[in-house]
Structure formats: C-alpha cells, structure tokens
C-alpha cells in the first residue's frame, strides 16, 4: 500500500492521520476548566460528571460500532464522519452556557473519539503489512498522541487564565485538520468488499478466545492498574504531604514525556522482544508502585513517574499491536475496536477500583492499596515470561498459528 501511494502522498497521509490525535486528546483542553464547571453548574452535579467522563463511555460504544461498520464503509468515510462529529461538538461546545447543551456537545465529542481511534489504527494496520513497519508506525502514532496531548494541555492552561470558556477556542485547530483528512487520507474499500488474489471473498474467521480473549483480559487489568496513578497522582501527592496540585501537574507531565519516548522507540523494542515486549512494562509498573509506597522524595517520585509513563506507552502500543497480529486479517478492525473499548472501560473503572480496594483493605489512601497492585503486576510479569517462552513453541501470531493448524 505504501508503494501505491508514493512517498509524497504517503507523508501527507501520515501527517493528516497523526494530527487526528487532536480529537483523541480532546479532554486535555477542558482539564483546566473542570473546576469552573463545578462552580458554574454546581447545582447540576450529575451533568457536570457526564461532561467530564461521559465521552469516555460513549467512545467505547462508538468504537465497537465502528469496528463493525468498517465492513460496509470506507475507513476514510468513517474517519471523516468521526472527526466532523468531534469538531462540531468541540468548537461549538459553549455557544450556550448551559450544562445540558455542553453535555450534548461533549456527547458528540465522545462518539467522534471512538470513530477516530479505530479508523486511524485500522488504516495503519492496512497500509503497513510488515509487522516491524506496523509496530514502528503504531508506536509513532501513540507518541504523537502523547505529544499532542501535552501541547494541548499546556496551551489550555494559558487560555484558562483568561476564562474557562476560552479553552474551547483551541478546538478551532480541528478545521484545518479535517480539511487535511479529506484531502490526503486515501479512500480504501469497505472490508466486506475486499477480495483475495483469486477474486474470492475473504473468509471472516472468528476471533480466537484463547489468544485474543486472554490478551483482552490482560489489557483490561493492566490498563486499570495504571489508571490508579494516572487519575490519582494529585491525591497521592496531597496525602503524602509532598506539595500542592502544581507538583501533581508536573509529575503527570513527566509521565507523558516518558510515554512519548517509549512510543517513539516501540518499533525497535517490538522488533527485538516480540511477545516479550510487555514484560518490561509489567516489571517497571510493579517496581514503580513499590517505590511510591516506600518513599516521598520528590526527585525519586519524579523519576518513577517518568519511567511508569514510559512503561505505559510501551504497553499501550504493545496491546494495540498484538491485537492486529494474533487475529485473522479480516478481523483486524474489529480487534482494534474491541481493544479501544477495553481501554476506555478499564480507565473509567480504575477510579472505582481504588474505592473498592480501599474498602476491602481497610485503608483510606491511594498509597495504602499499592501493595495489592504490586502483587498483581508481579504476577503479570511472571505470567508474561512464561507465555513468552511458550510462544516460541506454540506461536500465537495468526500467520504462524495458521500454518501449524
């Protein structure tokens, strides 16, 4: 597919595709305004909560739907549709200062995010058949996601200093990006209409519960555990008397930087470790939580947050990548939709998981539940080592598995 487009058109395509991360990181813009939402709409607390986290749940539903719709519509059509929904909901998010109106616009954003994520990843999988090239591009896409998110969060902080409504002006950047998507993203045929070399329709083989199902369970648990430090870093800082919210912002940014760096080298990491790529992520997260529960030294915590962010970037890229190589080619888009949905649900549940673990363990702090997180991650590390060794004899990759069948 790369050769068919030519170098120039391929570069424009990749640039446009990577810029769609503005939609995926849309929530970074409203983070500085969240406090103002509670102040202005304090008597409508349920709506405010939906404004903040509702789009995550809606993106789960739209991601699953998109994974099926690619069978009947071009990925470009669905990407344009999703990005348009995001642009409309984001740009016109505060035309009326009403919690109901803002919630409705945020709902459009959530639906759009699901479509953008699935189609962007599916296009990368379609255009990059070679496993090493695909892992490199998926890592680069996720690195761009981290970079775009960091930039949007930084800019939003300056805009929020003027007024909370001002942050929504940042979303106007979506207009030129949408134009680029329309002009430069090639239109590929629906997957249901794709043909094999002998002009026979592709047989849609079922997803493997053994390989794909177990990977999804692992991703759900692993992602939810990282969500603890991702969402509760400010609480961790305050409960340990380390500083104020500003320090939490710095630690969060360090995690983003670590994630970006790990994603940039993911292609190299995956080419060397393959199935074992996830092992360092399990180990680093386990050690990270172990250190966080034993020290409050700001500098050490800063290094740990950076490394945990790197572990997340590596693991996040790994699960998306594995979701494209352990399933039949005809099921790649469906796989990406399911993995995207799992990502959203697990992050959403992670905050509730903290409360549940605190009740079970009889503690009232985030630090207090970290021992159980270390145990789970250590178990995951050992299991990953065992499965990586087993994978050499019984490969889970679709092509290798199909040849042995």
- The Cα 387–Cα 90 span in angstroms is 43
Tell me if 17 sits within 8 A of 119, measured CB to CB. Answer: no
pLDDT of the residue at 201 = 56
Tell me if 112 sits within 8 A of 189, measured CB to CB. Answer: no
Which carries the bigger pLDDT value, residue 43 or residue 34?
A: 43
pTM for this prediction:
0.81
Q: pLDDT digits over 222-251, tens only?
A: 999 998 888 777 778 888 888 766 677 778
Listed in sequence order, the residues at least 6 apart from 400 whose beta carbon sits closer than 8 Å to its beta carbon are: none
Q: pLDDT digits over 306-356, tens only?
A: 999 999 999 999 998 998 888 888 788 888 889 988 988 888 888 788 888
Tokens of 306: 């950076």
pLDDT of the residue at 197 = 47
Tell me if 190 sits within 8 A of 73, measured CB to CB. Answer: yes
Q: pLDDT digits over 102-124, tens only?
A: 999 999 999 999 999 999 999 99
pLDDT of the residue at 235 = 79
10 Å Cβ neighbour count for 359? 11
pLDDT of the residue at 23 = 92
pLDDT of the residue at 194 = 54
pLDDT of the residue at 405 = 43
Tell me if 175 sits within 8 A of 169, measured CB to CB. Answer: no
Domains located in the chain, CATH noted: 2-186 (1.20.1250.20), 209-404 (1.20.1250.20)
The answer to whether residue 12 scores a pLDDT higher than 90 is: yes
- The Cα 213–Cα 207 span in angstroms is 8
Of 329, 335, 73, 339, nearest to 192 by C-alpha is: 73
The mean pLDDT value of the chain amounts to: 86
- The Cα 223–Cα 204 span in angstroms is 29
- The Cα 164–Cα 30 span in angstroms is 8
Tell me 169's DSSP state. G
SS (H, E, C) 26-94: CHHHHHHHHHHHHHHCCCCHHHHHHHHHHHHHHHHHHHHHHHHHCCCCCHHHHHHHHHHHHHHHHHCCC
- The Cα 397–Cα 388 span in angstroms is 12
Tell me if 20 sits within 8 A of 115, measured CB to CB. Answer: no
């Amino acid at each position: 597919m790369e050769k068919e487009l030519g170098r120039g058109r391929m570069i424009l395509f990749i640039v446009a595709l990577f810029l769609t991360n503005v939609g995926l990181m849309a929530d970074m813009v409203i983070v500085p305004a969240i406090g103002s939402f509670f102040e202005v709409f304090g008597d409508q607390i349920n709506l405010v909560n939906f404004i903040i986290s509702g789009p995550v749940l809606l993106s789960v539903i739209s991601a699953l739907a998109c994974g099926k719709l690619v069978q009947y519509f071009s990925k470009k059509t669905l990407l344009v549709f999703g990005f348009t929904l995001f642009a409309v909901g984001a740009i016109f998010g505060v035309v009326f200062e009403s919690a109901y109106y803002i919630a409705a616009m945020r709902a459009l954003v959530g639906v759009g995010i699901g479509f953008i994520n699935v189609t962007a990843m599916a296009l990368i999988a379609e255009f990059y058949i070679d496993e090493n090239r695909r892992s490199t591009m998926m890592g680069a896409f996720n690195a761009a996601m981290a970079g775009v998110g960091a930039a949007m969060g930084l800019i939003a902080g300056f805009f929020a200093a003027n007024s909370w409504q001002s942050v929504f002006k940042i979303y106007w950047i979506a207009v030129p990006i949408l134009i680029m998507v329309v002009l430069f993203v090639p239109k590929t045929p629906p997957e249901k209409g794709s043909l094999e070399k002998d002009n026979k329709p592709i047989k849609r083989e079922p997803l493997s519960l053994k390989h794909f199902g177990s990977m999804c369970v692992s991703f759900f648990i692993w992602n939810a555990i990282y969500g603890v430090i991702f969402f509760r870093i400010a609480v961790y800082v305050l409960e340990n008397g380390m500083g104020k919210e500003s320090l939490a912002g710095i630690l969060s940014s360090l995690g983003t930087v670590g994630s970006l760096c790990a994603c940039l080298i993911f292609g190299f990491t995956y080419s060397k470790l393959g199935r074992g790529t996830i092992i360092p992520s399990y180990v680093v997260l386990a050690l990270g939580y172990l250190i966080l529960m034993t020290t409050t030294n700001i500098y050490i915590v800063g290094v740990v947050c950076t490394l945990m962010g790197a572990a997340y970037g590596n693991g996040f890229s790994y699960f998306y990548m594995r979701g494209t190589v352990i399933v039949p080619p005809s099921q790649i888009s469906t796989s990406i939709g399911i993995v995207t949905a799992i990502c959203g649900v697990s992050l959403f549940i992670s905050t509730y998981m903290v409360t549940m673990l605190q009740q079970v363990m009889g503690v009232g702090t985030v630090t207090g539940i970290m021992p159980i997180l270390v145990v789970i991650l250590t178990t995951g590390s050992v299991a990953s080592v065992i499965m990586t060794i087993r994978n050499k004899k019984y490969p889970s990759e679709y092509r290798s598995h199909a040849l042995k069948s």
